[in-house]
């Protein structure tokens, strides 16, 4: 509730329901004061029935972002002070001063703002139950962000423990609109208590504006448009009060920061770059200056998707595809934050085909079709971590905890033998280990209490709690002193000594690497932008659907569809050389050129699904005749390339694309063990098999380092039925192979008319895929030369 | 288990590489190994990471087969016999070693070999030194630049990445340069370092079935 404004209806509804003892979920767009719906509900309930409330902690407020905590706590404290209550609002997370933390333990504030991790850390304390006895409510902010991730599972488990301590506890969630709200509520509140869903009627107005290049190129390719469009982005920034420029990867953000500075050197000192690899202090400084309106623009990644309201920001620019409707709306909502302002978002394509995506996004927003967030199931790694947390705290009795775990949404399907395997894992190391004398992670006391007694094991656990696993990150420091940020070890390992890279908008030259730190000096000239393994999000299936729909009618656009009109020459080119697939068609292109034989297919299902499909189709073709392929893919389609002629024709194509034996063929076509091994990396860290953080730099701890790959191999060899190994395979099927989405895609293809076209040069649809594939194998300089050659070839026809 | 061998010449001596992560020197009847990291799994268990010691047992079994095959008169361990001091795996190792009382045991100390007097007695080493010289060949855990002699070393756990058309495969290897032979880690429970390899070296990569020269 803004001061002086009258409350929205959903806020009043929330206060009433809360007062009547309900739990529930509030659905509202950002900027409408959803924080105050639940927070003031508690205050108003207290003012009405002060006798119900006793001394101590009354509400735990869980937020996904550490950086959000302070501002939320400040806003709450101000409101409380204004009302004239003597309540205190505290923040507890990794950034909290140890002194403050100690004070909190002695004397809990009335409201405590935490992250999922810091809540679990509280549960790992001895005698922690006393903190919660007088609690009335646990509230989960931005639930849509947590749902569908392992941190969301941590929240579910944390709440189950709090609910156990306080059976009358009210559970409230706050979420933006997502496609599966009812399910989201079931996950948050699986308990048989009074619950309700309150949806705000207020709607956020959004202006979606495409930025068009001067001319449309006949062959689009990824990344190339940037330089040309930077000149068009500059005036947008200049005309706005303050702008956030969203990119999809950290390397893209570094690149655009440079592009903007080159295009308009006066920006120096007025714009900044913000992503998760940049030093936290610098990020906070940037956020503060964005809040106060001192920065004209910030180039960022998803690191600014969430977070405090930046009041001065009135414009958002999205570089490239937003990949999904929900994410797009989230980003758009970062501008024009107050309730009745309009959010303005400019879409800057990185290749011209992305303009169709803008048209598709507009349609999706008009129809209000937003992606669901699928909750995770049976995350044994998180459960193992949670049980360790309880064992580090006051200990637990397995039978009693099991009853509670079975009620948690994620673990509703857990089987007795899985539970037993988990307890064995903690106490004797698992069935394959039998009973080793030296293994005493969790000790069973005489009365059956399961408890950690080793101080070292307890300390290792506390230091490694959480469900965010990152690749080993190296600090980057100037040789003369001064911290710049972090890069993944993987990236540095590929750099040679004299090579340069870009971080935080600076060109840096590696001087030496020592003790997990890269020492650099300032440099100039050509440099690599660090590539990071994460952050390559695939296109959502909703957006894929609208994309196919827009493409289908692309040659005859409505008057309002500026993007399609603009693209007309390119689309006509596609139609002339090959074909534009209608909604009920599936396009296959076979292109023969000097390099060899290319097969392109366009399911528009996103990179991940295409990866699996490409392997599957390659496998099925290789059953017709021995042939080997290299593969490439983007969000629109994939390519199989071979130096031999591909034995495909109109007659056998349908058989290659059949849904029969789908999953059997998928399993034969991919190296699922290899994929599971990669998935196991996170599982190993979360379940404590691989230790990431060591207390101090003691030598004895270094001897504990090993790689998840090594442990996976050992488990597969000696204990193939281990529940963590099985979880790795399940994750491969659900997340990597996206079984459900794959089956849906094949169902659709089955119903479609298959169009097979032949060509001698690349078509507008195939070209970006080809370029992406070159990108993966060639160094950046060789790449440009290669692309030029390809373009020349295409022009000659 | 299949033992594949390949002979190479170093300073006019014949050495036999095997695909079982060990080297044999016929003239000295010496089985040369590096980086056994005994006690690694036990150390992990001690710290609450559940790992079976079957890994370690299969390492020992492999060693038994090699002994059977080459009938050596001495072991030369080029460092990192132990991983983290004394523990139950070390007991098992001593037990195993007592089967071969006639084989001389030379340990060149590695960075992991922090061995107390008590532990040294338990291990019944014949010789424990920081460097061993036989003829004109030096055995040392990590390569010493300043030493002009030919060195047989360990420490690195060398591995090579082979790029095939579709994917990458990482394999352990021996690396031979003008003045160094770098041994693979004997223990299977070790990672592979593919970066800190000697320059201008020839690599002998091996699988369960074959040794390849690269």
Measured CA to CA, the distance from residue A421 to residue A417 in angstroms comes to 6
Q: What percent of chain B has pLDDT over 90?
A: 52
Q: What is the mean pLDDT of chain B?
A: 89
Six token digits for residue B4 = 């594949």
Q: Residue A641 in 3-state DSSP? A: strand
Measured CA to CA, the distance from residue A706 to residue A691 in angstroms comes to 8
Min Cα–Cα distance to chain B from A153, Å: 23
Q: Taking the CA of residue A719 as centre, how many other CA atoms within 13 Å lie in the half-sphere pointing to its CB?
A: 22
Residue of A nearest to B44 (CA): A704
Nearest CB to B166 within list A454, A630, A709: A630
Chain A / chain B CB contacts < 8 angstroms: 82
Among residues A360, A328, A366, the alpha carbon closest in space to that of A346 is found at: A328
| Cβ neighbours, 10 Å, residue A159 | 24
Min Cα–Cα distance to chain A from B160, Å: 15
Q: Along chain A (797 residues), what's the average pLDDT of each consecutive run of 10 residues?
A: 68 94 91 85 94 94 85 92 94 87 92 95 94 96 92 97 96 93 96 95 87 79 69 93 90 86 90 82 84 91 78 90 88 82 90 89 90 92 97 96 97 95 89 66 93 90 80 76 74 68 81 76 75 62 91 87 90 92 95 90 91 90 83 88 89 93 87 81 88 57 69 86 92 85 93 94 88 52 54 55
Q: Record the pTM.
A: 0.83
Q: What ipTM score was computed for the predicted complex, to two decimals?
A: 0.81
Does the beta-carbon distance from A703 to B112 stay under 8 Å? yes
Q: In Å, how far are A26, A62, A737, B153 from A199, measured between CA atoms?
A: 6, 20, 34, 69
Residues whose CB is less than 8 angstroms from the CB of residue A783 and which lie 6 or more positions away in sequence, other chains included: A774, A775
Measured CA to CA, the distance from residue A271 to residue B150 in angstroms comes to 58
Helices (H), chain B: 40-46, 54-70, 88-97, 117-123
Min Cα–Cα distance to chain A from B51, Å: 7
pLDDT at B167 over 70: no
Stretch (H or E) spanning A668: helix A662-669
Nearest CB to A718 within list B44, B48, B54: B54
Q: Give the bridge partners for A60, in sequence order.
A: A112, A138
Nearest CB to A429 within list B50, B166, B189: B50
- Cβ-based contacts of A493 with chain B (< 8 Å): 195
Min Cα–Cα distance to chain A from B88, Å: 8
Measured CA to CA, the distance from residue A620 to residue A195 in angstroms comes to 51
pLDDT at B33 over 70: yes
> Which part of chain A is CATH 3.40.50.300?
9-199, 205-367
| Cβ neighbours, 10 Å, residue B139 | 24
Min Cα–Cα distance to chain A from B186, Å: 15
- Cβ-based contacts of A719 with chain B (< 8 Å): 52
Q: In Å, how far are A224, B12, B16, B28, B147 from B25, measured between CA atoms?
A: 59, 12, 6, 6, 22
- Cβ-based contacts of B164 with chain A (< 8 Å): none
The whole-number pLDDT of residue A248 equals 84
Q: What is the mean pLDDT of residues B18-47?
A: 92
CATH assignment, A205-367: 3.40.50.300
Chain A interface with B: residues with Cβ < 8 Å: 425, 429-430, 432-433, 436-441, 454, 456-457, 460-461, 493, 628-631, 671, 674, 688-691, 700, 703-704, 706-707, 709-711, 714, 717-719
Nearest CB to A438 within list B54, B83, B87: B87
The whole-number pLDDT of residue A228 equals 79
The whole-number pLDDT of residue A773 equals 62
Q: What is the mean pLDDT of residues B118-130?
A: 84
Does the beta-carbon distance from A456 to B50 stay under 8 Å? no
Min Cα–Cα distance to chain A from B85, Å: 10
Q: Give the number of domains in chain B.
A: 1
Six token digits for residue A621 = 């073709």
The whole-number pLDDT of residue A779 equals 40
Residue of A nearest to B187 (CA): A710
The whole-number pLDDT of residue A535 equals 45
Does the beta-carbon distance from B51 to A710 stay under 8 Å? no
The whole-number pLDDT of residue A781 equals 44
Does the beta-carbon distance from B47 to A432 stay under 8 Å? no
Six token digits for residue A764 = 């507008």
- Cβ-based contacts of A438 with chain B (< 8 Å): 42, 45-46, 87-88
Does the beta-carbon distance from B44 to A706 stay under 8 Å? yes
The whole-number pLDDT of residue A700 equals 42
Instruction: Provide the domain limits for residue B194.
Output: 5-213
Measured CA to CA, the distance from residue A619 to residue A631 in angstroms comes to 12
- Cβ-based contacts of A461 with chain B (< 8 Å): 48
Residues A37-76 pLDDT 10s: 999 999 999 999 999 999 999 999 999 887 778 888 999 9
Does the beta-carbon distance from A689 to B49 stay under 8 Å? yes
Measured CA to CA, the distance from residue A643 to residue A595 in angstroms comes to 7
Looking at residue B14, which CATH number applies to its domain? 3.60.21
| Cβ neighbours, 10 Å, residue B136 | 11
Tell the CATH superfamily of the A9-199 domain: P-loop containing nucleotide triphosphate hydrolases (3.40.50.300)
Nearest CB to A703 within list B83, B166, B167: B83
Stretch (H or E) spanning A676: helix A672-686
Q: Is B192 buried (19+), middle (13-18) or exposed (0-12) by CB count in 10 A?
A: buried
- Cβ-based contacts of A433 with chain B (< 8 Å): 45, 50-52
């Amino acid at each position: 509730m803004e001061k002086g404004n009258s409350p929205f209806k959903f806020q009043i509804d929330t206060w009433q329901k809360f007062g009547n003892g309900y739990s529930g979920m509030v659905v509202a767009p950002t900027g409408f004061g959803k924080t105050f719906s639940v927070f003031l509900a508690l205050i108003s309930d207290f003012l009405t029935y002060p006798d119900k409330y006793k001394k101590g902690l009354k509400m735990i407020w869980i937020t996904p972002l550490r950086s959000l905590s302070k501002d939320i706590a400040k806003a709450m404290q101000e409101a409380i002070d204004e009302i004239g209550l003597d309540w205190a609002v505290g923040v507890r997370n990794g950034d909290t001063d140890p002194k403050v933390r100690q004070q909190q333990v002695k004397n809990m504030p009335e409201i405590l703002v935490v992250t999922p991790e810091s809540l679990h850390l509280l549960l790992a304390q001895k005698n922690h139950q006393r903190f919660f006895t007088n609690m009335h409510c646990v509230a989960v902010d931005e639930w849509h962000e947590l749902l569908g991730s392992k941190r969301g599972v941590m929240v579910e488990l944390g709440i189950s423990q709090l609910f156990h301590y306080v059976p009358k506890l009210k559970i409230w969630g706050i979420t933006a609109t997502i496609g599966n709200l009812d399910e989201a509520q079931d996950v948050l509140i699986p308990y048989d208590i009074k619950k309700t869903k309150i949806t705000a009627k207020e709607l956020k107005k959004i202006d979606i504006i495409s930025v068009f290049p001067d001319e449309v190129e006949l062959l689009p390719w990824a990344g190339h448009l940037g330089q040309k469009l930077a000149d068009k982005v500059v005036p947008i920034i200049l005309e706005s009060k303050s702008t956030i420029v969203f990119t999809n990867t950290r390397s893209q953000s570094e690149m655009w920061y440079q592009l903007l500075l080159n295009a308009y050197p006066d920006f120096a000192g007025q714009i900044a770059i913000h992503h998760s690899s940049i030093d936290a202090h610098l990020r906070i400084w940037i956020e503060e200056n964005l809040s106060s309106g001192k920065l004209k623009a910030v180039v960022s990644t998803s690191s600014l998707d969430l977070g405090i309201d930046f009041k001065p920001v009135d414009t958002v620019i999205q570089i490239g595809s937003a990949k999904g409707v929900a994410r797009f709306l989230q980003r758009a909502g970062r501008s024009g934050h107050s309730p009745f302002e309009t959010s303005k978002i400019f879409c800057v394509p990185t290749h011209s085909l992305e303009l169709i995506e803008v048209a598709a996004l507009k349609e999706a927003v008009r129809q209000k079709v937003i992606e669901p967030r699928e909750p995770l199931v049976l995350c044994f790694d998180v459960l193992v971590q949670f049980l360790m947390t309880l064992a580090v705290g006051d200990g637990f009795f397995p039978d009693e905890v099991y009853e509670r775990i079975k009620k948690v949404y994620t673990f509703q399907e857990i089987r007795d033998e899985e539970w037993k395997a988990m307890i064995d894992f903690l106490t004797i190391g698992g069935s394959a280990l039998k009973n080793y004398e030296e293994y005493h992670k969790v000790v069973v006391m005489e009365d059956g209490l399961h408890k950690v007694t080793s101080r070292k094991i307890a300390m290792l656990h506390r230091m490694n709690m959480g469900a965010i696993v990152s690749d080993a990150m190296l600090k980057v420091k100037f040789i003369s002193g001064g911290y710049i940020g972090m890069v993944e070890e993987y990236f540095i390992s590929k750099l040679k000594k004299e090579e340069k890279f870009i971080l935080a908008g600076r060109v840096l030259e590696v001087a030496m690497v020592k003790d997990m730190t890269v020492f650099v000096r300032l440099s100039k000239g050509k440099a690599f932008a660090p590539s990071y393994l994460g952050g390559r999000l695939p296109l959502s299936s909703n957006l894929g659907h609208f994309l196919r729909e827009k493409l289908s009618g692309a040659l005859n656009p409505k008057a309002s569809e500026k993007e399609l009109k603009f693209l007309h020459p390119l689309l006509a080119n596609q139609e002339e050389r090959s074909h534009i697939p209608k909604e009920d068609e599936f396009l296959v292109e076979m292109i023969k050129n000097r390099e060899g034989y290319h097969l392109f297919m366009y399911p528009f299902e996103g990179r991940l699904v295409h990866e699996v499909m490409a392997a599957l189709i390659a496998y099925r073709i290789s059953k017709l005749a021995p042939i080997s392929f290299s593969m490439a893919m983007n969000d629109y389609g994939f390519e199989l390339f071979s130096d031999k002629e591909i034995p495909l024709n109109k007659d056998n194509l349908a058989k290659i694309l059949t849904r029969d034996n789908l999953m059997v063929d998928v399993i034969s076509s991919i190296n699922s063990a290899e994929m599971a091994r990669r998935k196991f990396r996170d599982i190993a860290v979360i379940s404590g098999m691989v230790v990431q953080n060591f207390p101090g730099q003691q030598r004895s701890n270094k001897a504990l380092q090993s790689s998840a790959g090594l442990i996976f191999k050992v488990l597969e060899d000696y204990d193939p039925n281990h529940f963590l190994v099985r979880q790795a395979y399940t994750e491969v099927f659900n997340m990597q192979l996206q079984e459900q989405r794959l089956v849906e895609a094949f169902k659709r293809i089955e119903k479609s008319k298959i169009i097979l076209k032949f060509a001698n040069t690349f078509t507008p649809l195939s070209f970006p895929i080809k370029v992406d594939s070159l990108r993966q194998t060639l160094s950046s300089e060789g790449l440009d030369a290669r692309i030029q050659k390809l373009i020349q070839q295409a022009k000659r026809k | 288990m299949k033992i594949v061998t390949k002979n190479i010449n170093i300073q006019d001596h014949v050495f036999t590489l095997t695909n079982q992560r060990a080297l044999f020197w016929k003239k000295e009847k010496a089985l040369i190994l590096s980086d056994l990291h005994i006690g690694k799994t036990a150390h992990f268990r001690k710290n609450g990471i559940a790992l079976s010691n079957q890994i370690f047992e299969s390492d020992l079994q492999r060693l038994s087969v090699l002994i059977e095959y080459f009938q050596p008169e001495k072991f030369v361990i080029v460092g990192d016999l132990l991983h983290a001091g004394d523990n139950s795996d070390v007991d098992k190792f001593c037990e195993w070693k007592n089967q071969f009382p006639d084989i001389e045991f030379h340990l060149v100390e590695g960075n992991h070999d922090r061995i107390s007097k008590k532990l040294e007695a338990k291990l019944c080493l014949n010789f424990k030194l920081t460097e061993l010289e036989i003829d004109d060949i030096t055995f040392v855990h990590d390569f010493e630049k300043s030493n002009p002699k030919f060195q047989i070393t360990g420490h690195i756990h060398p591995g090579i990445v082979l790029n095939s058309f579709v994917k990458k495969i990482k394999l352990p290897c021996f690396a031979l340069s003008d003045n160094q032979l770098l041994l693979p880690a004997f223990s299977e429970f070790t990672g592979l370092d593919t970066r800190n390899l000697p320059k201008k070296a020839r690599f002998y990569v091996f699988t369960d079935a074959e040794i390849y020269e690269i």
